[in-house]
Structure 1
Amino acid sequence: MKDASAIIVVMAFFISWLGCWLPIAAISLKLLNWQPTKPLQPEQKLPLMVSLYLLAPLVLWGVIWFTNGSFANYGFVSSFAFLSSLALGFGLGSVSIVILFTCQFCLGWCYFKELNIKQLASVSFPILLIALLVGGIEELVFRGFLLTELARDYPLWTAAIISSLIFAVLHLVWEQRETLPQIPGLWLLGMMLVLARISDRSSLGIAWGLHSALVWAIATIDTAQLVTYTGKVSEWWTGKNQKPIAGVAGIICVLGTSLILWLSPLL
């Protein structure tokens, strides 16, 4: 497989990943008493998602073994510099979300439920752990493995466009109705994370931190029900189905963060 085309290597990875996960998913659904006629509930989705994500590094290790590659080739290294980049990315992502909701608050588009602020302490840490897992695995798979492999056979920005499109479309696996309006924003988010890897000299540190911060901040706000939209403007501005990445404000936030990455390599 060392000299195999990028498409073959990519297909082998995703088919192997899915093939290893399906039996685990079937057993999990059985244990969770899931009924095919009913949609998956959040508490049912979480075990499925965690098992899927935990399998990814193992399957990727198999691909690396066949191709004589390494995790370092995909931007994942063990070093203090990597951890520093991760912290920088997390800080940038957190600040971008604070600015996004502060601007919407000042414009009268939303307000904060002060009584729900006390919930942040109890929900933020568990969500942080999940966000770090999701951000790390997705960056390793999409900006690490997928981008690197596609860049072997295609120009970098063609590889970036394709990998970001796959990244966006695969989010439909978990939820179709709410995810569909987010596809353009998710694709743009993928492109921003490619730029984060480039600005970090091919390391995934900033991209992982940035991705994790966005997942953590938005999920924490949703779980604590911290923000209520006033309806002053269309939800296409604030985010369809209350998902920031599905609205103009969220898109502007992604573009602004991308500009920072473009102008300030390694921040």
Structure 2
Amino acid sequence: MIDTNKIANYPFLLRVIIFLLILAAIWLPVAAPIYLLVKDSNLATILTMGLLFAEFVFLVRRWGKQVYGQTQLLTSYGLVNTRQNGFELLIGLAIGISITFSLFVVQGLLGFVSWQNSDNLPRIIAEGLLSALGVGFAEELVFRGWLLDELQRDYNNQISVRANSLIFALSHFIKPVEAMLRSWPQFPGLLLLGLILVLAKRNCQNRLGLSIGLHAGLVWGYYIINIGELVRYSGSVPDWVTGINGNPLAGAIGLLFLSVLAVGMRQMSERSKGRSD
């Protein structure tokens, strides 16, 4: 048996492995029957991923209490129920969807895409918002909450930020080798996005609202455009310009827009640091 009182003194990688093994041990016995019994693969994925996140939240709370002696670990991650955090979430949502649509508007002006009509747009907008908020909330709690906290317990700020961004990018990029080779331009975009989301949290005194909203806004905007089939690519430029497989993160224009957003977040960080000094 592992002495939970000693886990806090283990190195970062060992702590993370122990946490993930415990999570897998809790999740797999329930998830496996779902995959076997539910014929609809999409429904099975939704159920098992929802279950995984619920168990993650349960385990994090126990982890904080048993390993670190902290009863409010989620609060220390930046998940706080305040008006300011909610306002920052809305600001992030607005920025994220604005950046996404601006990217495609620019491509339309340049003749790279043409805009199309969609018959189910209201439903797609509503579905996209719910899905995006779920993705943004879950991924930010995992990456900018739990993972960043574990990194900061062992490493300085610079290393923690870089490692967090790298792990975030790798976790979204790892797939069959053929697919990775085909979509390799996506990796720099994922790295930059990871950095932006860490900066978003730091700019709000480590509250998660802005990073959740920003992440959700980017997902929401792309969901509306992609699922709604609102644009058609003209093929006038190579895919690496507009995005491999239609993914803006895997294209030069998407990387340019993310770079502008990163500069904005960096300037915001420097201004807030100056005010605190």
Q: TM-score, normalised by structure 1?
A: 0.88
Aligned length: 259
Which segment is superposed worse, 238-247 or 56-65?
Answer: 56-65
Distance in structure 2 (CA, Å) of the matches to 1:143 and 1:47 = 24
Deviation at 1:164, TM superposition (A): 1.8
Deviation at 1:245, TM superposition (A): 0.7
Give 2:209's aligned residue.
Answer: 205
1:58 maps to amino acid: F
Counterpart of 2:112 (choices 97, 101, 109) is 109
Give 1:33's aligned residue.
Answer: 39
Computing the radius of gyration over CA atoms, which structure comes out larger, 1 or 2? 2
Distance in structure 2 (CA, Å) of the matches to 1:106 and 1:92 = 21
- 5+ long unaligned stretches in structure 2: 1-6, 273-277
Distance in structure 2 (CA, Å) of the matches to 1:130 and 1:10 = 27
Name the CA shift for 1:242/1:82 in 2 (closer, same or farther; >3 Å): same
Give 1:146's aligned residue.
Answer: 147
Give 1:95's aligned residue.
Answer: 98
Q: Is the 8 A contact 2:8 2:15 kept in 1?
A: no
2:233 is equivalent to residue 229 of structure 1: yes
Give 1:240's aligned residue.
Answer: 244
Question: Cα deviations across residues 183-214 of structure 1 (Å, max 9, x unaligned)?
Answer: 33212211110111111111111100000111
Name the CA shift for 1:175/1:249 in 2 (closer, same or farther; >3 Å): farther
Aligned positions of 1:157-236 closer than 5 A: 157-172=158-173, 180-181=183-184, 182-236=186-240
Name the CA shift for 1:54/1:221 in 2 (closer, same or farther; >3 Å): farther
Give 2:134's aligned residue.
Answer: 133
Deviation at 1:6, TM superposition (A): 2.9
Counterpart of 1:76 (choices 74, 79, 86) is 79
- 5+ long unaligned stretches in structure 1: 35-40
Identity %: 31
Deviation at 1:20, TM superposition (A): 2.4
Deviation at 1:173, TM superposition (A): 6.3
Name the CA shift for 1:44/1:131 in 2 (closer, same or farther; >3 Å): same
Over the residues paired in the alignment, what is the CA RMSD in angstroms? 2.3
Name the CA shift for 1:173/1:54 in 2 (closer, same or farther; >3 Å): farther
Question: Cα deviations across residues 244-264 of structure 1 (Å, max 9, x unaligned)?
Answer: 111111111111111121223
Deviation at 1:112, TM superposition (A): 1.2
2:122 maps to amino acid: A
2:88 maps to amino acid: S
Which segment is superposed worse, 161-170 or 194-203?
Answer: 161-170
